[in-house]
């Protein structure tokens, strides 16, 4: 379980995140949505201290995140990066194995685990010796998620892991990921600016604006009682798109 209390981050006079508090139950997926600059990525990075909070506290499974060495904390949390963040000089297999190597796994177990993860994310075994630059965008994203899951973390942070993919690939990957995280019982925080994606994947949604958490709840709760007009419009976007699309199809001569 993740407990975020009064989290804030300032850069000089600029307040990037201001007094954000929420809890994510074990096995739950919280999606943080909001526009660019709303503070969702900064909030995510404060959970594993890629960004040090200026205020507030993060507690993971009862332990204060600030009391642990940052690299130790990060090894216990899977992290899938916006823009993938694979190491360009390492092969697919080596990229996936990085967290295992850091954790000091023996070589044979490492190889077996890499095979298992590739299978889990439906990646072709033939890719293991390829370098990231030789993969398609979708394959890279999958390798990124595989790496985040490698050391079997109980908590996982994802920052737009399915951005910049073609719609079909994205759809398939979202489905695969959803099944996987439910099966593994992962506690997850998921940042996206795509409301439809949040509605599909999240148990609960947190809406952020200008560094603040404006509203948090299940998709149904937020849809029924939006905090304000903007939240209402934001949550309604996918449905509005659907209606426009439907009306276009009907009006075809």
Residue 53 binds to other proteins (criterion: CB under 8 A): no
Distance CA(110)–CA(97), nearest Å, equals 7
- Residue of the chain from 37, 52, 102, 242 that contacts other proteins (CB under 8 A): 102
**Interface with other proteins by CB under 8 A: which range of 7-15, 34-42, 74-82, 220-228?**
74-82
Distance CA(36)–CA(87), nearest Å, equals 26
| Residue 214: Cβ within 10 Å count | 18
Residue entry with tokens 């994203």: 141
Q: How far is the CB of 154 from other proteins (least distance, A)?
A: 15
Stretch 18-37 residues interacting with other proteins (CB under 8 A): none
Q: How far is the CB of 188 from other proteins (least distance, A)?
A: 15
Give the dihedral of Cα atoms 180, 117, 162, 236; nearest 10 deg.
Answer: 0
Can you point out the beta strands (E) in 61-163? 63-64, 77-80, 155-159
Residue 85 binds to other proteins (criterion: CB under 8 A): yes
- Residue of the chain from 9, 113, 142, 147 that contacts other proteins (CB under 8 A): 147
Q: Residue 8 or residue 132: which is nearer to other proteins going by CB?
A: 132
Distance CA(141)–CA(45), nearest Å, equals 19
Distance CA(93)–CA(135), nearest Å, equals 13
Angle at 231 between CA 225 and CA 232, to 5 degrees: 60
Q: Partners of 11 in the beta sheet?
A: 14
Distance CA(51)–CA(145), nearest Å, equals 21
- Residue of the chain from 72, 168, 244, 245 that contacts other proteins (CB under 8 A): 72
Residue 81 binds to other proteins (criterion: CB under 8 A): yes
Q: Are strands 2-11 and 55-60 parallel, antiparallel or unpaired?
A: antiparallel
Q: Residue 35 or residue 70: which is nearer to other proteins going by CB?
A: 70
Least Cα distance to 145 among 174, 112, 167 occurs for 174
- Residue of the chain from 70, 137, 175, 185 that contacts other proteins (CB under 8 A): 70
Q: Residue 18 or residue 160: which is nearer to other proteins going by CB?
A: 160
- Residue of the chain from 12, 36, 62, 88 that contacts other proteins (CB under 8 A): 88
Q: Residue 86 or residue 231: which is nearer to other proteins going by CB?
A: 86
- Residue of the chain from 86, 117, 118, 205 that contacts other proteins (CB under 8 A): 86
- Residue of the chain from 4, 39, 43, 74 that contacts other proteins (CB under 8 A): 74
**Interface with other proteins by CB under 8 A: which range of 23-31, 97-105, 164-172, 224-232?**
97-105
Q: How far is the CB of 22 from other proteins (least distance, A)?
A: 21
Q: Exposure of 112 by Cβ count < 10 A (0-12 exposed, 13-18 middle, 19+ buried)?
A: exposed
Q: Which spans of this chain sit near other proteins (rule: CB under 8 A)?
A: 48, 50, 70-76, 79, 81, 83, 85-89, 98-99, 102, 147
């Amino acid at each position: 379980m993740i407990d975020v209390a009064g989290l804030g981050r300032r850069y000089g006079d600029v307040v990037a995140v201001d007094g954000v508090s929420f809890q994510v139950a074990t096995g739950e997926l919280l999606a943080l949505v909001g526009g660019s600059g709303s503070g969702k990525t900064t909030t995510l990075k404060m959970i594993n201290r890629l960004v040090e909070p200026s205020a507030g506290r993060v507690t993971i499974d009862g332990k204060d995140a600030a009391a642990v060495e940052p690299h130790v904390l990060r090894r216990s949390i899977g992290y899938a990066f916006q823009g993938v963040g694979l190491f360009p000089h390492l092969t697919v297999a080596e990229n996936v194995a990085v967290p295992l190597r850091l954790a000091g796994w023996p070589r044979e177990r490492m190889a077996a685990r890499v095979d298992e993860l590739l299978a889990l994310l439906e990646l072709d075994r033939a890719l293991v010796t390829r370098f990231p630059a030789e993969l398609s965008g979708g394959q890279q994203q999958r390798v990124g998620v595989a790496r985040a899951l490698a050391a079997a973390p109980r908590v996982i942070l994802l920052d737009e892991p399915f951005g910049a993919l073609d719609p079909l690939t994205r759809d398939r990957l979202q489905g695969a990921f959803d099944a996987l995280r439910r099966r593994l019982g992962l506690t997850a925080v998921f940042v996206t600016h795509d409301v439809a994606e949040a509605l599909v994947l999240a148990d609960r949604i947190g809406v952020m604006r200008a560094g603040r958490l404006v509203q948090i709840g299940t998709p149904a709760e937020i849809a029924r009682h939006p905090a304000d007009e903007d939240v209402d419009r934001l949550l309604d976007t996918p449905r509005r798109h659907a209606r426009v699309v439907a009306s276009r199809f009907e009006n075809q001569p």
